[in-house]
Amino acid sequence: MSDSAWRRLRRVWRPSVGDDVDDEVAFHFAMRVEQFLAAGMTRAEAERAARAQFGDVDGVRSELVSIGMRRRRRIDWRDRIDAVRQDVVVSARALRREPLFALGVVITLGLGIGANATMFGVIDRLMLRGPAHVVNARAVGRLYITFAEGANPASTQSSVGYVTYSALRNRARSFAAVGAYQSASSGRYGVGAQARPIRQASATWDFFTTVGVRPVLGRFYSRDEDSPPRGANVVLISEELWQSEFGGVASVLGKPITLNDASYTIIGVVPRGFTDPELARADVWLPMTVQSPVADWPTSYRAQWLRVVTRLAPDVSSERAGAEATAILRAAYTGTDSSYGRLVASVRPLWYSRAGTPSLVANVSRWLMGVALVVLLVTCANVANLLIARARRRRREIAVRLALGAGRARLVRLLVVETLLVVLGGGFAGLGVAFAGGSVMRATLLSDVAWNDNGVDARVFVFTFALAIVTGLVIGLAPALVATRASLTNALKGGAGDGGGQRARGRVALSVLQASLCVVLLIGAGLFVESLLHSRAVDLGFQPNHVLRASPRYSLADLTGDARQQAVRQNNATLMSAVARLRAMPWVEHAALSVGSPFGNGYSGITLKVPGRDSIPASVLDNASITAATADYFAAFGTPLRAGRVFTAADRDGSAPVVIVNETMARTLWPGTSALGKCIVIGDPPATCASVVGIVADVHRNSLRERAELQYYVPFGQERGIGGTTILLRPRGDLEAAMSKLRAALLAMPAMPYTQIELMQSVLDPQYRPWRLGATMFGVFGLLALVIAAVGLYSVIAYLVADRTRELGVRIALGATGGRIVRQVVANGVAVTAAGVTIGVSVALLAAGYIQPLLFDMPARDPEVILVVAIVVLAIGAVAAWRPARRAAGVDPMVALRSE
């Protein structure tokens, strides 16, 4: 093909800007030359004159080309936008004609997408983004130390001493920053009767720079203000406290506030919603060094009360940082405990639990994210079903359009845009679901996490619509391709044999998929519900559901030695008489005092000697936990007595030393014989023999799942070296009323310090959270999926019945009874469901290993759960097929046969 011919051909399709310009200029030159020739010039003169008359030919040409290019680009864009707008208008019109279809899709998708948006919001905060105001959370981690003890299994902990923190921050090169914090605990704000509880956290001066938070006002404390031996009395307040207490004025800086009877100067405001790495909120932040747990805390390994956060230096892996920290901490230890020489330090994500494992709630949430995606799949299957059905209804229309010359590509685009429109509607509905669901979920199931949002923020928004669009493309493309594949003649002819059977196979497959996904979800739900029941059924060794615990906080900060002892004794005497008065009240069933209580203060480490039992290793005895208790303690807590007696009023300070042990301790120390009457020497000399007078049940002290440990009780007053008295009360009648009566009674006492009163049950509630979260959300998602799938199955069966109207008519004409037809159609539905159940159960069995760690004392392949779910889903399948079956039985053979 010659050059010019090729150019001409190309111009037919789309002339290039350069060619256009060249053609125009060439024409102009030709005309000029002719003009000059006519005026009598020679050809050479004429051409020269034409060029002179034109000016800078190349310059002008490139100017014209660039103008043309600009113009063409602009037109192209306008055309494209016009096309899209037109598609949207046409699609919207089509949807308005079928409002029920549009509404169904929007609601279904809204639920599916909303489930995902809700879970994404939770995961995003719990795991992805880290606590609010943490900058570049990926680089921030927590430090864990694993002790590989010979006989005992290795234990990992995150609490360390100040000495560990300072060794790391001074020597480690792998970290850009190192800081430490102590989670918020209850403190006392104000003085006298105006005093009220406040959440007070401590942090080292570099904690804030490590996580990256910046003050809203003022500054954070400096290194000088937070150094051993004692830091400055400065305090940071939360933005919330600043607003509520100080009216949000800048002059708050420099003001003094009273915390725990000491005066602190406000120097800065921490931004709203800032929490510690464990997502606990604090009203005030104190320098780590103003509170000292033990005298030699800067160098001691005995006091381990703070947790270290780290920010990795650029390009340092957490493995390398962990290895360096290991070396540093091993070298830094100078004591005699050989386990420090073998410790292993590691840096793990911020959202890991205190024990160094992904927190159970985060883990369950991660599963729920997967579950939400499965729900979305079920939803998609349904919507795809609806779209296919609709595409089938519209095949004639589409065939006509194809016949009239509409491009297949354009039709596909139109159908995809239509789907995208409803899917975007679904996205908005999903946002609504996420907003409502997220709020409810955060308030009820995850209430201990400091959420700063209501479930929908910019990230959730983006996630939702990205998900909606992907969903739309996936479910919109398939039906669009199916619809436009319509062979023109068949569609226009209408009637049977138009490939309906093939599409029905696709729809049946979708129903099988839905059923199997439902089965998986429901089995998950069943497992979590069972786990929740199991966890509820755990015998804690006490009955927490009707117990109040009050913890008066006496200020002993300035007292030492004998003066301190004296004060403690005096306070305890006051509390004793208070409890005696309380016990006389008609609304009180039992009232007791104790030092140490389950899920509260715990004490161990007191030297025990058991005469005649020297073979028991000291490490076992040292770990035994001690509680000092008055006579009514066991009755108040509901801890059953197994043998012997409980304490009486005669067992007190100065009386003959007695002790009550738990069953495990009795069994461990005196296997085979009764522990009653045996002797335990509690504490260092001159302690004497304490006689075992009773044996009580084992009590869970820290969690639902814990190994039985040695526990013993001494009469209140006989304890040495432990302090912090709590009041335990088992009221008669209403718990809430009793709570306020108790508060009033305590406030009425002279010189009563601030007292925190809590329900034991609410102290325990967080323990059940993972399973409650799992059971609720798996259950909600599972039922959601089941309803959606049932609707889907119904529509598929109804479609199959409609498709086979003629066949059914023939069979009825040949004498098939209605009952038989119903049975057959229902059997069809059950068969589809059964296929799904088989697949679903197989998947559940295969996945069992993964979910096992999340369950509470039960096998992930629990046959009961699987059986119940299988039966329920099959039953739902039969029910969904019932209505179409009735319709099938009612087919009039004459009408059916004539219909074509």
CB of 52 to other proteins, least distance (A): 9
Comparison of 60 and 573: residue with beta carbon closer to other proteins: 60
How far apart CA 233 and CA 202 sit, in angstroms, is: 12
Comparison of 24 and 296: residue with beta carbon closer to other proteins: 24
Comparison of 13 and 815: residue with beta carbon closer to other proteins: 13
CB of 33 to other proteins, least distance (A): 11
Comparison of 50 and 140: residue with beta carbon closer to other proteins: 50
Comparison of 20 and 653: residue with beta carbon closer to other proteins: 20
Comparison of 34 and 319: residue with beta carbon closer to other proteins: 34
Kindly state the DSSP code that residue 850 receives in the 8-state scheme. Answer: H
How far apart CA 572 and CA 575 sit, in angstroms, is: 5
Tokens 């030709």 sit on residue:
30
CB of 113 to other proteins, least distance (A): 44
CB of 513 to other proteins, least distance (A): 56
Provide the token pair at 763: 């102290």
Residues 359/162, Cβ–Cβ less than 8 Å: no
Q: What is the DSSP track for 323-360? A: HHHHHHHHHH--SS-GGGGG-EEEEEETTB-TTSSB-H
How far apart CA 660 and CA 636 sit, in angstroms, is: 16
Provide the token pair at 531: 């786990």
Task: Let me know if 506 is exposed, middle or buried by CB neighbors in 10 A (0-12, 13-18, 19+).
Answer: middle
Kindly state the DSSP code that residue 292 receives in the 8-state scheme. Answer: -
CB atoms within 10 A of CB 585: 16
Residues 691/659, Cβ–Cβ less than 8 Å: yes
Comparison of 33 and 681: residue with beta carbon closer to other proteins: 33
Comparison of 63 and 734: residue with beta carbon closer to other proteins: 63
Q: How far is CA 872 from the centre of its chain?
A: 29
Q: What is the DSSP track for 221-233? A: PPSGGG-SS---S
Q: Which amino acid is at 875?
A: A
Task: Let me know if 227 is exposed, middle or buried by CB neighbors in 10 A (0-12, 13-18, 19+).
Answer: middle
Comparison of 54 and 147: residue with beta carbon closer to other proteins: 54
**Plot region of 645 (φ>0 → left; ψ -120 to 50 → alpha; else → beta):** beta
CA-based nearest residue to 420, from 86, 88, 96: 88
Residues 412/481, Cβ–Cβ less than 8 Å: yes
CB of 47 to other proteins, least distance (A): 13
Comparison of 58 and 614: residue with beta carbon closer to other proteins: 58
Comparison of 6 and 850: residue with beta carbon closer to other proteins: 6
Comparison of 60 and 871: residue with beta carbon closer to other proteins: 60
Comparison of 72 and 199: residue with beta carbon closer to other proteins: 72
Helices (H), 98-206: 99-123, 162-171
Residues 784/375, Cβ–Cβ less than 8 Å: yes
Q: How far is CA 550 from the centre of its chain?
A: 32
Provide the token pair at 399: 């065939």
DSSP lists the bridge partners of residue 347 as 143
CB of 25 to other proteins, least distance (A): 7
CB of 77 to other proteins, least distance (A): 15
CB of 80 to other proteins, least distance (A): 19
Strands, E assignment, 31-115: none
CB of 30 to other proteins, least distance (A): 7
How far apart CA 234 and CA 229 sit, in angstroms, is: 15
Task: State phi, psi for 212 to the nearest 5 degrees.
Answer: 100, 5
CB of 1 to other proteins, least distance (A): 20
CB of 127 to other proteins, least distance (A): 54
Residues 363/371, Cβ–Cβ less than 8 Å: no
Q: What are the residues whose beta carbons fall under 8 Å from the beta carbon of 315, sequence distance 6 or more? A: none
Tokens 């919507």 sit on residue:
383
Provide the token pair at 847: 């996945």
Expressed in percent and rounded to 5, the helix, strand and coil fractions of the chain are 55, 15, 30
How far apart CA 543 and CA 760 sit, in angstroms, is: 9
How far apart CA 97 and CA 99 sit, in angstroms, is: 6
Comparison of 72 and 534: residue with beta carbon closer to other proteins: 72
CB of 50 to other proteins, least distance (A): 8
CB of 51 to other proteins, least distance (A): 9
Comparison of 49 and 827: residue with beta carbon closer to other proteins: 49
CB of 477 to other proteins, least distance (A): 39
CB of 53 to other proteins, least distance (A): 5
Q: Kindly report the CA angle at 386 between 385 and 390, in degrees rounded to 5?
A: 115
Comparison of 70 and 302: residue with beta carbon closer to other proteins: 70
Comparison of 45 and 240: residue with beta carbon closer to other proteins: 45
- Tell me how far CA of residue 898 lies from CA of 490, 809, 810, 893, 895, in angstroms: 19, 10, 11, 8, 5
Comparison of 32 and 255: residue with beta carbon closer to other proteins: 32
Provide the token pair at 53: 């008359």
Q: What are the residues whose beta carbons fall under 8 Å from the beta carbon of 75, sequence distance 6 or more? A: none
How far apart CA 327 and CA 313 sit, in angstroms, is: 17
Question: Where does this chain bind other proteins (CB under 8 A)?
Answer: 20, 23-25, 27-28, 30-32, 35, 53-57, 59-60, 63-64, 67-68, 70-71
- Total number of residues shown for the chain: 900
Provide the token pair at 97: 């004609």
CB of 26 to other proteins, least distance (A): 10
